[in-house]
Amino acid sequence: MNRPAPGAVRRASARGLPFGGLRTRLIAAFVLVAVGSAGTATALAYRDARTAVLTRAQNTAANDFRARLGEVAGQFDLPADRAALDRFAAEVARRLPGAPAVEAVYGDLTAASDADADRTRITQDLRQAVRSGGRLRFQRVEHAGEPYLVVGTPVTYTEDGRPSGLDAYMITSLRAEQEDTGALLVSVRDGLLPVVAVAALLALVAARTVLRPVRELSRATRGLADGTLSSRAPVRGRDELASLARTFNETADALQATDAELREQESRARQFAADVSHELRTPLAAMTMVVTVLDEEADAGTLPADAEQAARTVSAETAKLTRLVDDLMEISRFDAGAAVLHTADTDLTGAVRAALALRGWADRVTLLTPERPVGVVCDRRRVDVIVANLVGNALRHGARPVEVAVAEHGPWAVVRVRDRGPGLPPEALAHVFDRFWKADTARVRSKGLDGSGLGLAIARENAHLHGGTLEAAGAAGGGAEFTLRLPLRPEPGARGGAGGGR
């Protein structure tokens, strides 16, 4: 069963985490909500407290001023002169708390309890409101950076409430109240820091609670993507995350069951092919003996012409069938992991030369070898199979001259087989090592010499068994080129390492 390359999902999931993660967003959201809530509550509380403090101060000052005026005005005679007006202002201010400044206005005369007091703190608007309104008025003003409360009221006759023409104003400082509300603001501001700290702590706890199952699910997903089909996510609780983990596990169960079924089917198919191939060997052996006799009689000319042609056809097809069965059994051994390497120190140049000589190809192939032998630890029989397949294909399907070059490049022993045939089109390169794939349109078939379609697949499996590679490419100047790379010294534990099985 095909699976994605290990690490593919891990690499994808590792992107873009540092500051955009869910944990950071949760903490930021908690802190923002906490700061916003605390800030709003603080602002409302500060406003109400400040209003209450100032209102109380205003009411107290106004009541005290009104009461003091009542006490002093009863003893004040009108019309008044400047001296009487000074005494009136001083007497009113004398018993008022907070040592306020008092100003008395009667007609064009103006007197103040404090001759140095800045009377500009009494605005014209307030004076006009007192003069025209006929009742007590007050106003908060700021002068030279200091807050003040200015209260003004007309003095009326007691018996009928008529205006007497005398207006009185009191200027008192609100600094104490301002300091009280400022202290309240500082206390509330200092209280925000613990609120933010607690919000961040709660955010961390919430993030851990939420992100833990997410991380576990992510870890299980990566394991599944890497091919560990037994990977599962723990299910805790009954919330949405638990439901998601449960769904993931059910999906993984289904995937694992399907994978097991496919593996079982694949195993049965391989076993079937191996069994059929094995069972065919006995009748094929008998057929081979028969066709050998027929070949000998045909060669001796004792058979009629038609019988001779039939005997040679049967002989050729029997040979092809025998080769197909042998290849199927070899592929079955690779699939079953039963292919075994028998390695030894080998002169690769000599092995290639022997393979060509054994098949009578020495005169048909140009062998290019280095000056010194290329020593490699390999299974000579399997290397012979690879070379025979590559050179045989080049001779059958390519065109001369066919070159076989042996060389040593770094840690690799390299064998290149090149022909001058039509070559392989780019779309064929991806399939040239597929089983039973034949380049009908690209390669020139030689009648009666078709292979089994498994030769290149077996050759590549043999290369991989050594820890090497087998690649196909178009040769420069036309033709096809196959490159076999074998490690000079296979690493221990490599696939099909020296002296070991697959």
Query: In whole angstroms, what is the distance from residue 473 CA to residue 368 CA?
Result: 19
CATH architecture of 230-339: Orthogonal Bundle (1.10)
**Band of the pLDDT at 4, cuts 50, 70, 90?**
very low
Q: What is the dihedral of CA 361, 366, 371, 374, to 10 degrees?
A: -50
Tens digits of per-residue pLDDT, 158-185?
766 777 788 889 998 888 888 888 888 7
What local confidence, expressed as pLDDT, does residue 381 receive? Answer: 92
Cβ atoms of 80 and 109 within 8 Å: the answer is: yes
- pTM for the model: 0.51
pLDDT at 20: 57
pLDDT at 3 over 80: no
According to the model, what pLDDT value does residue 497 have? 42
The larger pLDDT score, comparing residue 312 to residue 18, is at 312
Question: For residue 264, what are the contacts with CB-CB under 8 A and spacing of at least 6?
Answer: none
Whole-number Å distance between alpha carbons of 406 and 374: 8
Return the domain boundaries, the chain.
22-183, 230-339, 340-440+453-487
Burial of 376 (0-12, 13-18, 19+ CB in 10 A): buried
Length of the chain: 502
CA dist., res. 386 & res. 482, Å (int): 11
Out of 86-95, 245-254, 369-378, 460-469, which region has the weakest mean confidence (pLDDT)?
Answer: 86-95
Q: Which two tokens stand for residue 421?
A: 């045939």
Q: Is the pLDDT of residue 8 over 50?
A: no
Extract the tokens encoding 90.
């001083």
Residue 455: CA count within 13 A, CB half-sphere: 19
Least confident of 15-29, 212-226, 357-371: 15-29
Q: Which residues pair with 377 in a beta bridge?
A: 345
Which pair of structure tokens corresponds to residue 164? Answer: 């007497």
Cα–Cα dist 429/122, whole Å: 101
Quick one: pLDDT at residue 440? 54
Write the CA distances from 222 to 10, 215, 256, 262, integer angstroms: 6, 10, 15, 22
Query: Given a cut of 50, is residue 442 above it in pLDDT?
Result: no
Residue 445 has pLDDT above 60, yes or no: no
Choose the weakest-confidence range: 4-8, 123-127, 202-206, 463-467.
4-8
Tokens representing 366 are 């140009």
Region 230-255 average pLDDT: 89
Query: Would you state the structure tokens that stand for residue 379, as one six-digit string?
Result: 């299974």
Kindly state the average pLDDT of the residues 216-221: 90
Fold classified for 22-183: Beta-Lactamase (3.30.450)
For residue range 316-344, what is the model confidence (pLDDT) as tens digits? 888 888 888 888 888 888 887 878 888 89
Domain 340-440+453-487 fold is Heat Shock Protein 90 (3.30.565)
Mean pLDDT in residue range 44-58:
85
Supply the pLDDT for residue 441. Answer: 47
Percent of the chain with pLDDT over 70: 89
Q: Could you tell me the pLDDT band of residue 405, with boundaries at 50, 70 and 90?
A: very high
Contact 405, 368 (CB under 8 A): yes
Section 414-423 average pLDDT: 90
Q: Which long-range contacts (CB under 8 A, 24 or more apart) does 312-319 make?
A: 315/291, 316/448, 318/284, 318/287, 318/288, 318/291, 319/288, 319/291
The answer to whether the CB of 97 falls within 8 A of the CB of 64 is yes
Q: Of the candidates 272, 274, 223, 211, which has an alpha carbon nearest to the alpha carbon of residue 249?
A: 223
Spell out the alpha helix ranges (H) of 77-174.
82-94, 124-133
What ranges make up the beta strands (E) of 2-85?
none
For residue 77, is pLDDT > 80?
no
Give the pLDDT confidence of 351-388 residue by residue, as tens digits: 999 999 999 999 999 999 998 889 999 999 999 999 99
Nearest to 486 by CA among 390, 407, 414: 414
Could you tell me the two tokens for 116? 């140095």
Mean pLDDT of the chain: 82
| pLDDT score at 247 | 93
Reported as a pLDDT band with limits 50, 70 and 90, residue 439 is low
The whole-number pLDDT of residue 2 equals 41
